[in-house]
Amino acid sequence: MPKAIIDGREIEFEEGETILEAALRNGINIPHLCFNKRLGVKGRCRQCIVEADGRIVASCTTRLREGMHIITDNEKIREYRKINLDLLKSRINTSQILEDEEILEYLEEEGLFEEKLLSLPIDNSSPAIVRNPNICILCGRCVAMCNEQTVGAINYAYRSINTVIIPAFMDEINNTVCSTCGQCTLVCPTGAIREKEDIDRVMEALNDKDKHVIIQTAPSIRASLGELFGLPPGTLVTGKMVTALRLLGFDMVFDTDLGADLTTFEEAHELWHRINNNGVLPMTTSCCPAWIKFMEHFYPDLAPHVSTCKSPHEMFGAIAKSYYARLRGIDPSRIVVVSAMPCTAKKFEAQRQELINDGYRNVDYVLTTREIARMIKKKGIDFNSLEESEFDKPLGISSGAGAIYGATGGVTESVLRTLVWIAGEELGKIEYREVRGMEGVREAEIRIKDKNIKICIVHGLGNARKIMEKVRNKQAEYHFIEVMACPGGCIGGGGQPKSNDINILRKRAMALYTQDKKLKIRKAHENPIVRRIYDEFLEKPLSEKAHKYLHTSYIDRAPKI
Amino acid sequence: MKFILEDLWQIEKRFGYLPRRELESLAEKHGKPLAEIFSVASFYSLFSVDNPPKHFIGVCTCPSCIANGALEILHAFEEELGVSINSDEGDIRLLKLQCQGRCDKAPVVVIDGVYYEKVRLENIEKLIEKCR
């Protein structure tokens, strides 16, 4: 292997590796703003400049050569970095940058240049994300991310001093093909794109003594919330999370895992019904709202392929305001359902007109993992020293099948566990390791009775597009396709702690599989509450009542040219 | 991207600006996001992505043209026409242009797509007549 010297240390590197990559790999930190491991090189921010054999170069764009001599930090480099940074920030309104943003550590000193602050309109149009172009340093990570998702809702526009990152024709983001997946919010270093905060509206509900405020927590956030309190990635904080939510004043703390069990139960029946009655196949999952919006924009002709099941938290909300309301004798108008989700798209989903039953929205407000952490911190709760406690009954009982929903492949595995039971096989397998993993597109074939069930699992909208093209061209000979818009599934969701590092995603997924293993009930259909809800309320899977409360419909958002 | 530029030129020539519906079909044709087409279109000051003026006068304001009096010419246009740079009012839009690649013939003025090279202050009145 060729060698080079970085800060006096001899370092081996691979042919073609850049200075920045080799340095980071060896634990030498070079400041960088626009570079992101997964999104690649842009060479815009010029913070990663180093001295290479006496010349100042950008370390993200310069490849190492044999015997190269690199200095990553000296007075001259620091001075140049400062000038570059000052140029970057000379037009942004730093007072509008909120807490916890990556760029803050760069902004301590005063700038050298006269500030010519931007004053462009803030785009509040989307229920999921907010764009504030006035604090955008044009690093381009969001554009790269949006293009990687093959959505392309935003791009650079205009030129030179007038350059902005914005939708075509300066449209509001809500009028574009934006899937609301929120991956851009994970990579933006300044918070120029952030989730739309719903904390105030939730607090208002909590302060209203007349309201019965329920919070339900998504499978994946218990595996990531701890990171925002300094715990290592992959720490399960279920018990502390429940305690913290109670301290925040929620009347009931329930588990979306139950909603996931309901989804599994309905969806497995729907799949089995389609397979045995010449229904439209392949059937795709429907629990990811960003995927649904993407489908409605780009593949509305394929909507019959999409399962009509609502997503888990919407099913949960529908049950909370019907079955649970009756059970507890609470008028549904007094119930407020808040969802703690890893997701920005769920905010969009909660506002869909299709997700209303008996005149009530299934879900009223959605908070992301980041907002939950913000609320806990604002309240002054010392999260790490909290006692653990359990979800409230009865809607807090769930199975391992619900727990693994948060990782790519999880929905498939849960559906398989129940599908085998529906097919009448005595001893169904529990773990289907063949559907786990982080590959963007995975295929598996599972034999159930006399049938070979062909499965495809994709995550990341770019991969979803590849498979949907196949479906459109009738080249996809699958029975079941699981689609998650975010890389890694919900554990990598747009509302999660900011990171798109694949190793962190793996640890979060591992935590969910460990939780599944520890649970006694690991199949959705064995969840006693699921059984009770059907016995006492929904009658049977795919019944008229089940359709009313647990299924939904889609609309066509394709441009009409 | 080369083909997109060709197409953008055709549309600009036909309509005098880039209507939204045309860019939407262009995006469809090339299988590119609309935001990317808009990004290209808005980068070049000779494409007009906003409402169409009847005429437009562009003055190159890159170093070579400035060194040869482009700013004086720009201001003379402003005064004679009574419009400010980039204003949306009226039939004529006055634009600052980025380098047109004719630095040897500086300063360069472009009126409705026609290039005028080595422009002098005394030519201005004649040039304005082209728009009347």
pLDDT digits (tens, 9 = 90+) for A237-280: 999 999 999 999 999 999 999 999 999 999 999 999 999 999 99
For residue A122, give the DSSP letter: P
Q: Are residues A409 and A525 in the same domain?
A: yes
Question: Within this chain, do residues A109 and A80 fall inside the same structural domain, yes or no?
Answer: no
Q: What is the mean pLDDT of chain A?
A: 93
Taking CA atoms, A500 is separated from A17, A140, A182, A460, in Å, by 21, 16, 12, 12
Chain B residue numbers with beta carbons less than 8 Å from the beta carbon of A166 are 35
CATH code, domain carrying A445? 3.40.50.1780
Contact present, A349 and A359 (Cβ < 8 Å): no
Q: Which of B47, B73, B118 is nearest to A157 (CA)?
A: B47
Residue ranges of chain B whose CB lies within 8 Å of a chain A CB: 20-21, 23-25, 28, 32-39, 42-45, 49, 98
User: Most B CBs within 10 Å: which of A158, A173, A461, as the mutation test of the B interface?
Assistant: A158
- Give the count of domains, chain A: 3
Give me the torsion for CA of A527, A531, A536, A538, rounded to 10°: 110
State the pLDDT at residue B92: 85
A402 and A358 fall within a common domain: yes
- The last residue of one of the domains, among A165, A195, A225, is A195
| Residue to substitute from A169, A177, A179, A465, interface B, most B β-carbons within 10 A | A169
Of the given ranges (A64-68, A428-432, A487-491, A508-512), which has the lowest mean pLDDT? A428-432
Instruction: Kindly report, residue by residue over A439-483, the tens digit of the pLDDT.
Output: 999 999 999 888 899 999 999 999 999 999 999 999 999 999 999
Identify the CA nearest to B60 among candidates B45, B50, B48, B41. B45
3-state secondary structure of A539: coil
Instruction: Give the pLDDT confidence of A500-527 residue by residue, as tens digits.
Output: 788 999 999 999 999 999 999 999 999 9
Mean pLDDT over A407-434 rounds to 88
Boundary-marking domain end, from A56, A87, A118: A87
Domain CATH code at residue A176: 3.30.70.20
One domain, residues A138 and A283: no
Question: Considering CB atoms only, which of A152, A169, A561 is closest to B33?
Answer: A152
Triad A63, A67, A69: Cα angle to 5° = 75
Residue of chain B whose alpha carbon sits nearest to that of A144: B36
pLDDT at B81 over 80: yes
Copy the structure tokens of residue A133.
């172009």
Query: What pLDDT is recorded for position A52?
Result: 95
Domain of A82, in residue numbers:
3-87
On whether residue A561 sits in a domain, the answer given is no
Are residues B24 and A559, on separate chains, in Cβ contact within 8 Å?
yes
pLDDT average, residue stretch A418-434? 84
Contact assignment for A168 to B35 by CB distance below 8 Å: yes
Main-chain phi, psi angles of A520, to 5 degrees:
-75, -45
For chain B, domains (ranges, CATH) are 2-43 (no CATH), 55-129 (3.40.30.10)
Residue with token string 């005028």: B116
Asked whether the beta carbons of residue B98 and residue A159 sit closer than 8 angstroms, the reply is: yes
CB contacts < 8 A, A to B, total 54
The answer to whether residue A92 sits within a structural domain is no
Q: Pairing relation of β-strands A365-368 and A480-484? A: unpaired
Cβ-Cβ contacts under 8 Å, B60 against chain A:
none
Query: A556 in a domain, yes or no?
Result: no
**pLDDT tens column, B31-54:** 999 999 999 999 998 898 876 677
pLDDT at B2 over 70: no
Chain B contact set for A559 (CB, 8 A)? 24, 28
**Mean of pLDDT values over A304-318:** 97
pLDDT higher than threshold 80 for residue A427: no
Give the closest-approach CA distance of A134 to chain B in angstroms.
Answer: 19
Of A268, A357, A262, give the one whose Cα is nearest residue A313.
A262
**Of A48, A63, A87, at which residue does a domain stop?**
A87
User: Do both A231 and A110 map to the same domain?
Assistant: no
Residue A398 confidence (pLDDT): 87
**Whether residues A131 and A78 fall in one domain:** no
- What is the value of pTM for the model shown? 0.87
Say yes or no: A213 and A188 in one domain: no
Task: Please state the separation of Cα A231 from the chain's center in Å.
Answer: 20
Q: Which of A154, A158, A561 sits opposite B35 (nearest CB)?
A: A154
- In chain A, which residues have their Cβ closer than 8 Å to the Cβ of B36? 147, 152, 155
Same-domain pairing of A350 and A373 = yes
Taking the CA of residue B34 and the nearest CA in chain A, the distance in Å comes to 6
Residue A50: inside a domain: yes
Whether A95 is covered by a domain: the verdict is no
> Among the residues of A42-107, which ranges form H helices?
75-89
| In a domain? residue A560 | no
Residue A288 has which token pair? 């990811």
Q: Of A245, A290, A338, A330, nearest to A153 (Cα)? A: A290
Per-residue pLDDT at A329 exceeds 80 = yes
Residues of A carrying an active site annotation:
267, 270, 287, 307, 346, 349, 354, 490
Which pLDDT score, from 0 to 100, does residue A162 have?
A: 87
Check whether the bond before A282 is cis (ω within 30° of 0).
Answer: yes
Question: Are residue A191 and residue A219 in the same domain, yes or no?
Answer: no
Query: Is B35 in Cβ contact with A176 (below 8 Å)?
Result: yes
A436 in the same domain as A541? yes
Q: A53 Cβ partners below 8 Å, 6+ apart?
A: A68, A69
B21 contact residues in A (CB cutoff 8 A)? 561
Question: Is residue A297 included in any domain, yes or no?
Answer: yes
In B, minimum Cα distance to A152 occurs at B33
Q: Is the pLDDT score of A106 beyond 90?
A: no
Tell me the C-alpha to C-alpha distance, in Å, between residue A348 and each of A3, A363, A422, A497. Answer: 51, 11, 34, 19
The reply to whether A235 and A281 lie within a common domain is: yes
**Separation between Cα atoms, residue A40 and residue A306, nearest integer Å:** 33
Tokens of A208: 């209203």
CB contact under 8 A, B43 and A561: no
- For the cut 70, the answer to whether the pLDDT of residue A166 exceeds it is yes
CATH of the domain at A54: 3.10.20.740
**How far is Cα A146 from Cα A168, in angstroms, rounded to an integer?**
14
* Neighbour tally for A222: CB within 10 Å: 27
Does A158 touch chain B if contact means CB atoms closer than 8 Å?
yes
Residues of A in contact with B45 (CB under 8 A): 159
Cα–Cα distance list, A476 to A115, A375, A454, A473, A487 (Å): 55, 45, 10, 8, 22
* CA A91 – CA A134 distance, rounded (Å): 8
- Does A420 reside within a domain? yes
- A127 has a pLDDT exceeding 80: yes
Instruction: With cut-offs at 50, 70 and 90, classify the pLDDT of residue A383.
Output: very high
Question: Which residue is listed with tokens 């529906």?
Answer: A422
Look at residue B89 in the predicted model and tell me its pLDDT: 67
Q: Which segment of A355-359, A362-366, A432-436 scores lowest on mean pLDDT? A: A432-436
The residue-averaged pLDDT of A102-108 equals 78
Q: How far apart are alpha carbons A153 and A149 in whole angstroms?
A: 10
Please check the confidence at residue B86 and state whether its pLDDT lies above 90.
Answer: no
CB atoms within 10 A of CB A301: 13
Chain B interface includes A176 (CB < 8 A): yes
**Same domain assignment for residues A507 and A472:** yes
Task: Return the structure tokens found at B110.
Answer: 């472009």
Interchain contact, A147 vs B38, CB within 8 Å? no
- Mean pLDDT estimate for chain B: 88
Percent of chain A scoring above 90 in pLDDT: 83
A333 is written with which tokens?
A: 């108008």
pLDDT greater than 70 at residue A184: yes
Which letter does DSSP use for residue A386 in this model?
Answer: P
Nearest to A152 among B35, B44, B45 (CB): B35
> Residue A318 above 80 pLDDT?
yes
